[in-house]
Structure 1
Amino acid sequence: MLNKIITHAMLSLLPLIAVTAQAADVVQVLTQNYPPFSMSANDKNFEREDGIEGIDKEVVVEMFKRAEVPYQMTLRFPWSRLQEMAEQQSGFAVYSLSRTAQRESRYKWVGPLSEIQLVLLKKPGNPIVLHSLDDARKYSIGSVDGTSVSQYLAKRNFDVKNVLSGAPTKLQAGEFDLWATTNPAGQYESSKAGVGRLEVAFSISSTQLYLAMNKETPDEVVQKLQSTLDQMRKEGFIDQVTARYLND
């Protein structure tokens, strides 16, 4: 009798165990407001997949669906916290993240999704002339906390004022002389904020953006996503999506 009770109890738990195991296999994909690569369609700091748009968002969604890897996508805030979650929590991933030497060993990588240029932007007509990056040390520099360009400058002992959002309007208001950001994201964000087109005071370097996955992600999942992305690139899917956002 006791064995029957135990068996019945175990059988009743099987659906719960199955649901839990299935949920554990779902990749939690995190992203931020980083136009034109990923952004809220409603100008919010929290969105589910249906409320997110952007170049890399469309590429990542297509990649997961083609690869038949279950996922859930969330746009959240702040950026530095999203990177920590993907690094420290099994089953998490984050995009669009530049693959720097500092970050290389922290994640498993799928990409590239896009390419960006690290730049220092200034207001139109600003007389600042930079012949080298070191020339920028005499000016106040603002950047969004946790971004690759902010980390790049901090590593080189630049005094950077880190902000959470609204960098174009803060630059326009004179809160800092130069905005350390990336293009085309910087110009896109400036246009959407009503600030207009900014001038490139100095171009630092270029880098590529990736999906960064927690290191416990099975290699076969990473490889499946990578091969799917490679096929999408061959088909011209990524170029088509990029053109729709940048050639309007």
Structure 2
Amino acid sequence: MQYLIGSVIGLSSIFSVLAATPAKVDIYTEHFPPYQIEQKNGSITGLATDIVRLIMWEAELGYQIYMVPWTRAKAFSEKSPYSLLYSIARTEQREENHVWIAPLCQLKIAFYKRADIANEQAWEIWRIKQYVVAVAADQLSENYLKAHGFVADKNILSITNLDRAGELLERGRIDFIFGAESFVDQMAARMGVTEQWDKVLDIPELSKTLYLTANSNAPTEYINRLRAAAERVQMQRKKVDVGCHIDE
């Protein structure tokens, strides 16, 4: 009888976990090379994407990744308790609005200037404010500029897709790009202007870790399943070079 009761309890626990997971998880992100890249055939790849796929495989969950502008990605991820969002920087302001599943990659932010702008011995924020800076809309980097006195339509251009910034910089429509080092470096390499765009100022306080997050209303069993899978993937990442690292 005790064996039968134990078996029933065990089966109930399994069915409880299964009931707390959807047939397909909707995962939202934005185009943000090299972390998330939409290929010509429509597939989504990238350093962070590869880790997210490993976590979902390890958790044995079906999923679909949707790449949309960041504002929409955040909005869509709030519509279902099972939706996931990546790559989002972890900050104090965002802490209670998300369930933080797993760290993915390290993000570092810097200013890059156009080639024909004369070099200064020491670039500082007050100098850069004399120029027009392109930044990704609705990001921590945009908030940083506004907090330091940059004004829309004067010396800051907020754009939904920062990929456009490279062309604008080359055409002289903007003077600086303010964004993730890996993203800007890859864009410069793709455009063949790596030697022309100079990184002039790092912003260490914006260095963050990008995360995979879940909806704040997600069921506990679902969260536990994802976190357990993420821990197993993290153990494997420590054994091999996955091309994307976080500060321990």
TM-score under structure 2 length normalisation: 0.77
Three-state SS of the structure 2 residue aligned to 1:236 is: helix
Inter-CA distance 169–127: structure 2 relative to 1 (3 Å threshold) = same
**Counterparts of 1:32 and 1:238, CA distance in 2:** 29
Are the counterparts in 2 of residues 168 and 195 from structure 1 also a CA contact under 8 Å?
no
Q: How far apart are residue 94 of structure 1 and its match?
A: 1.6
1:47-86 to structure 2, matched below 5 A, reads: 47=42, 51-76=43-68, 78-86=69-77
Q: How far apart are residue 131 of structure 1 and its match?
A: 4.0
1:85-234 to structure 2, matched below 5 A, reads: 85-124=76-115, 126-129=117-120, 130-159=122-151, 160-165=156-161, 166-197=164-195, 198-205=197-204, 206-234=207-235
Q: How far apart are residue 75 of structure 1 and its match?
A: 1.7
Letter of the 1:242 counterpart: G
Q: Report sequence identity in percent.
A: 22
Unmatched segments (≥5 aa) in structure 1: 1-20, 244-248
Letter of the 1:174 counterpart: G
Task: Give the structure with the higher percent helix.
Answer: 1
* Structure 2 match to 1:10: none
**Counterparts of 1:194 and 1:29, CA distance in 2:** 33
Q: 4+ residue stretches of structure 1 with deviation over 6 A?
A: none
Unmatched segments (≥5 aa) in structure 2: 1-18
Q: How far apart are residue 118 of structure 1 and its match?
A: 1.0
Letter of the 2:106 counterpart: E
Query: CA-atom RMSD, angstroms?
Result: 2.5
1:151-188 Cα distance to aligned partner (Å, 9 max, x none): 22223332221112311111121221111101111111
Letter of the 1:203 counterpart: D
* Structure 2 match to 1:11: none
* Structure 2 match to 1:32: 30
Inter-CA distance 172–240: structure 2 relative to 1 (3 Å threshold) = same
Are the counterparts in 2 of residues 29 and 94 from structure 1 also a CA contact under 8 Å?
yes
Q: How far apart are residue 55 of structure 1 and its match?
A: 0.6
**Counterparts of 1:238 and 1:33, CA distance in 2:** 28
* Structure 1 match to 2:243: 242
